[in-house]
Amino acid sequence: MIRETCRKINELKNSDDKMAQINIVSGQLMGYLPTIVNTPNERRVKATYTFQYKLHRELRRTCPKYLIDHAPRIVQRVIDFEDKFSRPEIDSIENVCVRVSRIRNVYMYVVTIDDYFPDNAIEDFSSRNRESWGGKGFGWENGTIMISMSVANRQLRISTGDESIKYLTDEECSGIVKIMIPYFKKGEYFNGVLKGLEEIGKRL
């Protein structure tokens, strides 16, 4: 799939035509969707955003003429690229995120990620994607809080923006991460995230 998409991009008459590149990538997505048509809806949503993101990431990594900088926008309370949560666990995390969000009108969500590319660190990955994947434009006037976790890289971060940092400081974020780490060391990712969300809610 990556090679085929890159070949189509390389064959464009105008390799600087970003819209043509977007159309090629969209066509690949349209070709993928029929393969998951019989999948339950919640799994289909996850499969779709995972396909979009990983196709974009690998094109950036391996296809020099690919010019699209921004990752596809994903608006989900739980973006689980690492497949660390079951469907009932995702439902529970989503419900708690909604509750926490309402405390200070911030958009609260959780991301698991295996590979930060094109970033080198979880801090850069979180800063680059926090607002675009968050609730920007949906009326969350006090910004976004993003929990990023990477089991593959053994890293965890709570990231705030210019508005949400007024309600949750960097020092508080670091303290909550320290509370979550013992759960993660035991492989209890679901319980660790719930504990983190609980602690964030106490501080907002």
Residues paired with residue 145 on neighbouring β-strands, in sequence order: 108, 160
Give the separation between CA 102 and CA 152, rounded to whole angstroms: 31
* pLDDT, tens digit (0-9, with 9 covering 90-100), for 175-197: 999 999 999 999 999 999 999 99
To the nearest 10 degrees (0 to 180), the angle between helices 2-10 and 41-62 is 50
**Using the 8-state DSSP alphabet, how is residue 36 labeled?**
G
Q: Report pTM.
A: 0.90
* pLDDT, tens digit (0-9, with 9 covering 90-100), for 136-148: 667 788 889 999 9
> What is the residue-averaged pLDDT of the chain?
93
Average pLDDT over residues 26-32: 93
Return the pLDDT at 27: 95
Smallest CA-to-CA distance from 108 within 130, 86, 84 is with 130
29: its two tokens: 């997505």
Residue 105 has pLDDT above 70, yes or no: yes
Residue 14 has pLDDT above 80, yes or no: yes
* pLDDT, tens digit (0-9, with 9 covering 90-100), for 146-169: 999 999 999 999 999 999 999 999
Return the pLDDT at 42: 81
Return the pLDDT at 137: 61
Smallest CA-to-CA distance from 111 within 87, 135, 89, 82 is with 82
